[in-house]
Homo-oligomer: A and B are copies of this chain.
């Protein structure tokens, strides 16, 4: 598996992955009717680094790394990950997460924060915990799950400073 910055040639595949995940509506707080233009405005924002994971010359995942806030909050990174449905469970998310943490450290970020981890997304939470993230906040009923109704959302945080 190779992880590299996204290029224009990846746009169709990224949109396919993004659209599939947003329409499923069980992990991200995006409007399922979000257009390709709106998705790209988010995924390729000026202050955002966008990467893809490739296996056998096929893009199977994508992630973004960016400051979570501006100015006096810009030392904390934020990231988001998406894996194609037929590549899930094959370690793509973990490889992208490790790459992302490495990039964030090199960029000089002091910490990484996930603002909105849906509590029913147990695979993601398990992975983040294995990588050292801690749940530092719980947002009661902040996500409307398509089957489970209103469910809690976690804020997760990892210091990137050496101990």
| Chain A residues packing against B (C-beta within 8 Å) | 22, 25, 28-32, 34, 68-76, 110-111, 113, 115-116, 136-146, 150, 153, 155, 157, 159
**28 A-B pairs with C-beta separation under 8 A:** A22-B71, A25-B71, A25-B72, A28-B72, A29-B70, A30-B71, A31-B70, A31-B71, A69-B116, A69-B142, A72-B143, A73-B142, A73-B143, A73-B153, A76-B139, A110-B141, A110-B150, A111-B141, A111-B142, A113-B142, A136-B138, A136-B139, A137-B137, A137-B139, A137-B155, A139-B155, A139-B157, A140-B159
Out of B30, B75, B110, B155, which one reaches A155, CB within 8 Å? B155
Copies of the polypeptide in the assembly: 2
A141 to chain B, nearest CB (A): 7
Interface centre among A31, A71, A72, A73 (most CB of B within 10 A): A72
How long is the Cα–Cα vector from A70 to B157 in the complex, in angstroms? 22
Which residues of B lie under 8 Å from residue A144 when comparing CB positions? 72-73, 75
A27 to chain B, nearest CB (A): 9
How long is the Cα–Cα vector from A113 to B139 in the complex, in angstroms? 8
How long is the Cα–Cα vector from A139 to B111 in the complex, in angstroms? 10
B29 close to A71 (CB less than 8 A): yes
Having A30-B71, A140-B159, one finds 19 other A-B pairs with CB under 8 Å, namely A22-B71, A25-B72, A28-B72, A29-B71, A29-B72, A30-B70, A32-B71, A34-B70, A69-B116, A72-B145, A73-B153, A75-B150, A111-B140, A136-B140, A137-B137, A139-B155, A139-B157, A140-B157, A141-B159
